[in-house]
Amino acid sequence: MSNNKNSIAFSDNADKFSNHQYWQIITPPIKALFETLKNIPEIKWQKWLDLGCGAGMCFTHFPTTCQVCGVDFSPALLTHARANIRKNHLKNIKLINQDINQLDLKEKRFDGAMLFQCYPHLNYEVLIIISRFLNLNGWLVIAYGAEIEVIEAKHHQHPELTNRPIPLGLHMKMDFTNGGFKFEEEWKLSPQEVSDKAKMESERPLIAFLGRKII
């Protein structure tokens, strides 16, 4: 996320986004997303970026043989991410404290990049920046674990994004193209199994957009 007042407020609520109840709700669609991605034979799983990784909700879903670089601007969220790494005995994750909008990594040969829940808060040109660190034909996955209405509501809470269209549908395809990616697919995944408590709050269908670096 961008290092602005609203994003700092998000960082201050790190505990809220790291609690058991939130993870219970969001884990089924994340699992469904990764299971679907792993069925695409063209995707390589050697080195991936998890951008806006937060507390590390996606970490356990990457193959254990894949080296994952998690990036987030929030030290508070990265503290939770480290706890998640220790809890799950993960040896394939490293963390970097950076603003994605100003991404600057020493390594530049990643097979793919995951942006989960964070893209509506990033700048237009962020996909151009991300593409610099991906291999040719490297995959970009942008996903939201929420209904479209929820995404729109969250988007409009950020005054700095007022003039930016909601990054869905046609706007998303244009963003991919402008960033040097070939847009491949759009998915909406609804997990078949979620707990009764999670169902009461939201079944959290997952919306995902996939593309490959062509420039």
The 3-class secondary structure across 133-177, one letter per residue, is CEEEEEEEEEEECCCHHHHHHHHCCCHHHCCCCCCCHHHHHHHHH
- What domains can you pick out in the chain, each with its CATH number? 5-213 (3.40.50.150)
Higher per-residue pLDDT: 88 or 21: 88
Give pTM, 2 decimals.
0.84
Average pLDDT, the chain: 81
Q: Is 3 a residue whose pLDDT tops 80? A: no
CB 59 within 8 A of CB 79: no
Could you report the per-residue pLDDT of 107-158, keeping only the tens digit for each?
889 999 999 988 877 887 899 999 999 999 999 999 987 655 555 665 556 5
SS3 20: helix
Q: Is 34 a residue whose pLDDT tops 50? A: yes
Q: Is 97 a residue whose pLDDT tops 90? A: yes
| Residue owning tokens 């078949």 | 192
Could you report the per-residue pLDDT of 166-195, keeping only the tens digit for each?
667 778 899 999 999 999 998 877 655 434
Nearest 5°: CA angle at 164, between 171 and 110? Answer: 60
